[in-house]
Structure 1
Amino acid sequence: MNLSSNFNQIVQKVLGEVDIEREELLEKISQKQDELSGFVTPEGAATIVARSYGIVPERKEPEVRKLRIGDLSAGMSGIEIVGRVALIYSIRDFERKDGSPGKVVNLLLQDKTEKIRVVLWDEKAVLVEEGEIEKGTPVRLKGAYVKRGFRGELELNLGRRGDIEIDPEDERAEDLPPLPESEVKIADLDPELEDVDLIARVIAVTEPRTFERSDGSTGKVASLILADETGQTRASLWNDKADLSHKISQGDAIKIENAYAREGWGNTPEVHVGRRGRIILSPPKSETSRLPEFEKRLLKIDEVEPDMPVLDLAARVRRVFQPQEFERDDGTSGRVMNAILADETGTIRASFWDDMVEECQKLSPDDVVLFTNARSRMGLGDRPEIRVGKRTGIEINPKNLRIEEQKPGRIELCELEPGLDTLEIIGRVMDISETREFTRSDGSQGRVASLTIGDQTGTARVAFWGEKTDLVSSIEKGDVIKLINCYSTAGLYGQPEIHVSGKEELKVNPTIEEDLPPLDELTENQLAEERVNIGKIKKEGVKVQVRGTIVRVLQRRPIFDICPECGRSLGSVDSSLFCEECGKVVSPEHRVAISTVVDDGTGNIRTVAFGKVGEELIGKTADEVFELFKESSNISELYDEFNIAGKEIILTGTSRHDKYFDQLELRVESVKAPDPTQEAAKLLEKVKA
């Protein structure tokens, strides 16, 4: 007998024994089914209503179908549900109000109908911690209840009276969909991959370091260098995940779940472990047996991250500087001596402290030096540098150790920033200035010539110094030039510019693969000043104009020094400094550097104003800022002098992507206050359009 006939039999029995109209009875049955959220069949609801009148149909129990995740709604309790674990978030330890410890972990459970977050507490969370429940495990939850979570989404909770069964025998478990393959090899990483699982061995690990976001909040990040049988990559651990770096050592095998991949330094994919990510510190040997065994190895310079507690590195000495004495805060004296090291991947500064200065004095240019048990810290220009202390082993010119020469790195003009070295740049010449002579601070004469080049991403000034000015005579407007082994610094107005002063190579109209824009197009783009809403700035290398309010001033050192002879950043603030490039002590020129966050109501963006642009923004010269900086004991007091928070401004600049923190910033080229007449005219034009 089918369901329809059973239902009709129950209805007829009630109508025959109770004084009730058919429509009223059917309405009561429908209400009862709604009351039970539709999880009882029409026949079951009719049976319940019949019993309320004292009538017991032949079927003794209502027919209730088994729940699926898609059937759940807030307020339901005593639920039994079956699903497959699709994601596992990090387990969190906490302390209750009574001081007792607790554990909690979130899972994402799915079946063929839907997904839902599941919250497990205490001894049930331990099942995840001990590996009883893994990604992909089928489970049955009994005695669960549904509520709205933090973001208003449904979540399933399993309290103390609830139960969880692993690999249950249930018809719902038989039709659970398999999880998509998420484990990838390092060689197969793609910058757009989400929910990545990765098993790898740790080659190097850094200490966590904090940073400030554009909204004023602080974040934390630590880095790992990982390797598997297919290759090597960098992994960034963000915020609470960064603290796990204290539990990870070189040589450890780890499993990362729910990570995402993004393009990193050198346009290679990197792994990021954020809020959803999970790190398993000791995965089963069955999963890690294929990994290469750990061998303590030498890092390349581009693999060095700030705050590595221990590292081994070999490099060639480029320059050695004079030792300097200083006084510590406690009144004791110290010594430091610096050297610039290089390999085929880049350059790095090494600082030798106190007694280790004697080891640095043994070094000469072109020596190969091997460091063991060194450490790294954040150095000048927010770049890592090697710190050489008492525990560091040093070997000069070890046998059978060969260091390849550094090769120039090709970048586009939108990627240019001050302080880069060994660059390869291609651009079309847009403008050429005549060679001019100048007098240095020591009375000697110098020469400088410059030109402006452009590519499809932006423009930049190129300065030729001394004998290199003779190269400009072979260049004409519209030519394509290729500069090899050049470097960058901050120009007078703060914009990054390219300098040619020594070993650089110039090629005029070489054969290139790039299709550079013609001269008239580059000129037109350079003059363009399109006013846009900040919220619409989505990519780098775009010249825009924005109008907004300074909502935050990032209180960092507001000034840096450059060499007046070669333009290189000296990275400090003093009255006399040693220039690495020129090989002598010089009287530095000061440059202002101001970072702010500007908001126009559609969004906000970090802005960076260097040089004369920074001076215009704060209304003070670089020399004035230099004196204030030397006299100020508190950097907040210094920024109070600038008084720019809340200021409404119009900025013109080029958007740039900060790859490390994955955010856009505006490199400011001009700043001005809004003119009421001009702004009214712009609004009128917009209304007319």
Structure 2
Amino acid sequence: MNYEYVKKILSKKLNLTEDEIEERVKGLINEYGGIITKEAAILMLAKEEGIDIEEEPEEEFKIKDLEDGMIVSIKGKVYDVRESSTESQRVINLVIGDETGYVPVTLWNINIELEEGDIIELKKVRVKRKKRLSLVSTDETEVIKLGKEEVETKKIKDLNIGDFAIIEGSVFSSLPIKRFEKGKFRSFILSDGEDSIRVVLWHDLADTEIRVGDLVRVKGWIVPNYYNPNQLECSATNIEILERADGEIEVVPIEDLKYRDEGERVSIRGKVLAKSLKRTVELEKPIKVQDLIVEDETGRVKITFWGMGCSHLDNVSEGDIVLIKNCKVKKYVGMDGEEVISLNAGIDSEVIIEKKGEVKFNKIKEILEENLDIANVFGVVTDVKDNIVEVDGVKKRVKNVIIDDGTPIRLTLWEEAANIELEEGDVIKVYNASVKKNELVLTRYGRIEKVRFYNKKFIIELIEDELSEVRGTIVKKEEDEIELCPICRRRVINGECPNCGIVEAEKVKLLRVMLDDGTGVLECRAYGKRAEKLNRELGDEIVIYGILKNKIFNVKAIKRFDINREIEYLKKVLEEER
């Protein structure tokens, strides 16, 4: 029962203002000691005055006037008809609309045949609210046909939230069925030639076969886009395939993107040159974004993946040949006054890896000798330091990492990249790092990838001059002290460095450890702070990274021992042997 609706009826019938009705309701509540609600009081007032609220539906309402609890008569055009009947009951589900809006209708056991375009009058139907307002038949409901009109299709650009629309267009891209606890759905992008919209098919409707290029007619409610509330999507109630397509959407050469309109959806194919780290952009609410740089034989373009669309890039790497479907063209004027063209992609885009690529990793020695501008590096983390620095009055997090592949180099990570958790002993791949003053800096289009296992070997398998991981038990150790050159870190003998001549030597701790893994015994050497960290008890198991030179294993990093990781590796070895 809708209190405001009953109050309006009593005001009209009793020729009283609504304020006067309110006063009489309050009087009844006080008369009963405050134990009745205002809804109960107003019904008592109606009964006292001989007014049957159930007999007062004849005032004609518009959809915009509907409120929960009303009994109304209303006219509208039928936009959708679905029937779900059993042996004992007939249920007709409609959507009707007038010039003020749209509303779903459920008719129980009404003997009438309706179709799209019918103009009808519904008498004595009840307004109910669940997720949205709807109309439900009562025992006294009547349905009267008044005529018939054509139901118009709508252009996507003219849609508004709350509309029930009929849209015709071609399928630009389609995603497979996804399942969740209460059912399933699938989505696709529909283009009418001028604009596009995401369409979602729920439950049984999701089983409809949708092909790229199909011409379809969709009916459904227009709601905020699940992934981007600033955009619209259509929650479909019905779909009809008007014409089947045979082929795929045309793939556009990157150079030809300049001839495409802003907001137009396109597909491209090319080689991934760079993949950025995910970063957070502050819009109405924070959202994750990630970029790809893709190149074909005609040019290169940046594609920015937004929100959950970033998940499409989880298995994409530099060098991969990819087909990217359903990207939106974005155009803007750059700082130099030239037009810049990029692409935006989201959860409804699709990324197909057509061929996995191989990335060339540079040796650190090569980087330092050849003065490269951009480099890919593969090495072990030997040191990590976190700092907070102030840049232009803003405090920023910076992480300094030493990585080593036989030659050490410093890698500097700023802001979000500095949030990557790294520790000594981690093996990492660094993509598209900028080389500056013999150091690496992770740029916007650079990223880091941790490697779970790299060149993990038994002692008997070790190869000279190769970075390797070894696990074993300390069976012997010996501490010593040596003198190193403070300039080039070469060993100083009798105060003289073979490179720098006479120097003031720096005394450094040396630890020799004999390691046994059951396949052999290995002499390992560590210096300075690393020697202190390696100085464990006899019988301790350790995991280390290093390089074998002249049968001596020079320790580069000491990895935290993780029994679960060791078990995982042994399982991996056994599976490979099978």
TM interval, short-chain normalised: 0.3 to 0.5
Structure showing greater radius of gyration is 2
TM-score, L = length of structure 1: 0.33
TM-score (norm 2): 0.38
The structure whose residues are more often helix, as a share, is: 1
